[in-house]
């Protein structure tokens, strides 16, 4: 058997950092994936999925430090002993957070970068770039920083489609893609004959029948599981990859706590996108889900509702003293929390404790009131030590920290933009329960229609900037 990925007896731990001692992450981990097969690694948040991908790509421990023992071979070469730029023809990695790997000012130059590094002729590059962008429905001149989280993942995938490495490593790539993009990506991989290792904190039904192997990452080891076997879905629920039969709701939804009417917005110079929402209401004590394809305007809508953007037309009202009152941007920003898709856009202080305390200090609270609240939030949101540096936490832990800071501020409306990304459905549902309050409204933006149906009282679908 010709193995594209072969891992034997892998042991790994990161270096100890001040206030963040490391623990062994992998213990005698084995993995084998034959060439041309598609494998899925299911793992809970913080299980080590991203680290495994980065070890296979050769960037860990080379750029992170740490102690690695065991054999890791990718496309016939030792990953730890080969420099990443030497493997560009063989291995491609889409990061869990694609913002970490996008760095140019245009989509076409982003896709062209690897091919230019390989010295390909201009005509060859132009054709590859054009085809990859067309496959992902991305505009060549668009600035990657203006893309939504899902569109950034599409751009990272387009980079791999143009470079065409033999092994693809897709680290939680499916989580923020719409259903059509997910299916196209998986079917494209199947027809290409390339080897792909996908990681995920969720099991999607469209995976059934489209994967060659499924592995469960738990306790530092991998074991293969069979999707068609008896008890498979019970195992998924037990391990935290599927919601149980019910998702609890603490309060029946009431009158709107937030209401928007006749919203209209367009980005200057960004194509023909136009957001037009006649009416949208977030129920008091309840949860509204907003779903839709990548680029349909979900994040744009959320940024208007929280005061980050001003609509060209229409307004947003918030319930104050029993009645809905029109709010300006500053008033909305004080009362509506917006939890970004990318936690690194909102986390900036050197310790978990300082991050949690920052907003409370701005409110004028004294240390004697801040300290117990911070300790309680760290426990409720399962955060590491208060002195731990957020920059070194996992993506899922940074998402929980991001949510905890807003939980402490007690906003009347809380918007979760792809809040389940990096957490998994059961963990996100638990996080929502922490926020539920009879006087607070929650708005959840997600591509997981099953999750939306289970945690939300109402669902709105956007299509090309308009409610469907």
The residues spanned by each domain of the chain are 3-239, 256-467
DSSP assignment of 93-114 equals EE-SSGGGT--SSSHHHHHHHH
According to the model, what pLDDT value does residue 248 have? 52
What is the distance between the alpha carbons of residues 356 and 455, in angstroms, rounded to a whole number? 26
Query: How far lies 403's CA from each of 132, 234, 355, 359, 434, in Å?
Result: 35, 29, 11, 12, 10
- Residue 1's pLDDT band, with cuts at 50, 70 and 90, is low
DSSP assignment of 47-103 equals SSHHHHHHHHHT-TTTTT--EEEEEEEETTEETTTS-GGGGTTTEEEE-SSGGGT--
> Given the structure tokens 């997910």, which residue do they identify?
182
The distance in angstroms from the start CA to the end CA of the chain is 50
Q: What is the mean pLDDT of residues 200-204?
A: 89
Residue 394 reports pLDDT greater than 60? yes
352-362 and 367-380 helices, crossing angle to 10°: 130
Residue 214 reports pLDDT greater than 60? yes
According to the model, what pLDDT value does residue 240 have? 80
For domain 256-467, give its CATH number from 3.30.70.270, 3.20.20.70, 3.40.50.620, 3.40.50.300.
Answer: 3.40.50.300
Most confident of 230-244, 256-270, 361-375: 361-375
What is the distance between the alpha carbons of residues 306 and 324, in angstroms, rounded to a whole number? 15
Beta strands in 179-233 (DSSP E): 195-200, 213-218, 221-225
Give per-residue pLDDT as tens, 134-164: 999 999 999 998 888 899 999 999 999 999 9
Architecture label for domain 3-239: 3-Layer(aba) Sandwich (3.40)
Q: How many residues does the chain have?
A: 468
| Cβ neighbour number for residue 312 with a 10 Å cutoff | 11
In this structure, the strands spanning 441-445 and 26-34 are unpaired
What is the distance between the alpha carbons of residues 299 and 273, in angstroms, rounded to a whole number? 13
Tell me if residue 347 falls in helix, strand or coil. Answer: coil
Tokens of 412: 């009347």
Domains 3-239 and 256-467 share a fold: yes
Q: Count the helix, strand and coil residues of the chain and give each as a percent rounded to the nearest 5.
A: 35, 25, 40
Residue-averaged pLDDT of the chain: 92
Tell me if residue 184 falls in helix, strand or coil. Answer: helix
Tokens of 155: 């751009």
What is the distance between the alpha carbons of residues 151 and 157, in angstroms, rounded to a whole number? 10
What is the distance between the alpha carbons of residues 307 and 316, in angstroms, rounded to a whole number? 9
């Amino acid at each position: 058997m010709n193995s594209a990925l072969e891992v034997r007896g892998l042991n790994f731990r990161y270096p100890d950092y001040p206030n963040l001692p490391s623990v062994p992450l992998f213990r005698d981990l084995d993995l084998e994936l034959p060439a041309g097969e598609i494998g899925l690694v299911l793992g809970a948040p913080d299980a080590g999925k991203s680290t495994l991908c980065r070890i296979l790509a050769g960037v860990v421990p080379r750029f992170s430090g740490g102690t690695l023992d065991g054999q890791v071979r990718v496309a016939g070469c030792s990953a730890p002993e080969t420099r990443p730029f030497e493997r560009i023809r063989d291995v491609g990695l889409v990061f869990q957070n694609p913002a970490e790997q996008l760095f140019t000012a245009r989509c076409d130059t982003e896709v062209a970068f690897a091919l230019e590094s390989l010295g390909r002729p201009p005509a060859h590059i132009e054709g590859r770039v054009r085809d990859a962008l067309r496959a992902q429905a991305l505009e060549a001149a668009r600035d990657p920083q203006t893309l939504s989280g899902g569109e950034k993942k599409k751009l990272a995938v387009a980079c791999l489609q143009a470079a065409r490495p033999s092994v693809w490593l897709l680290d939680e790539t499916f989580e923020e893609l719409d259903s059509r993009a997910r299916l196209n990506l998986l079917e494209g991989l199947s027809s290409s004959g390339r080897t792909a290792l996908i990681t995920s904190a969720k099991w999607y039904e469209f995976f059934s029948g489209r994967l060659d192997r499924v592995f469960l990452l738990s306790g530092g080891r991998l074991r293969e599981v069979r999707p068609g076997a008896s008890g498979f879905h019970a195992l998924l629920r037990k391990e935290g990859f599927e919601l149980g039969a019910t998702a609890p709701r603490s309060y029946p939804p009431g009158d709107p706590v937030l209401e928007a009417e006749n919203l209209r917005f367009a980005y200057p110079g960004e194509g023909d996108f136009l957001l037009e929402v006649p009416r949208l209401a977030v129920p008091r004590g309840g949860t509204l889900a907003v779903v839709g394809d990548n680029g349909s305007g979900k994040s744009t809508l959320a940024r208007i509702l929280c005061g980050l953007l001003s609509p060209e037309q229409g307004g947003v009202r918030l319930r104050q003293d029993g009645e809905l009152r029109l709010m300006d941007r500053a008033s909305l920003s004080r009362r509506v929390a917006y939890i970004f898709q990318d936690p690194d856009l909102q986390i900036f202080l050197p310790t978990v404790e300082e991050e949690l305390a920052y907003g409370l200090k701005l409110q004028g609270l004294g240390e004697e009131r801040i300290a117990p609240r911070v300790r309680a939030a760290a426990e409720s949101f399962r955060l590491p030590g208060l002195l731990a540096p957020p920059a070194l936490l996992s993506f899922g832990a940074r998402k929980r920290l991001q949510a905890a800071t807003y939980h402490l501020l007690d906003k009347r409306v809380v918007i979760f933009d792809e809040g389940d990304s990096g957490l998994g459905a059961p963990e996100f549902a638990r996080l929502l329960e922490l926020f539920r309050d009879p006087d607070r409204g929650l708005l959840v933006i997600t591509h997981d229609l099953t999750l939306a149906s289970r945690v939300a009282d109402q669902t709105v679908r956007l299509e090309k900037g308009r409610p469907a």
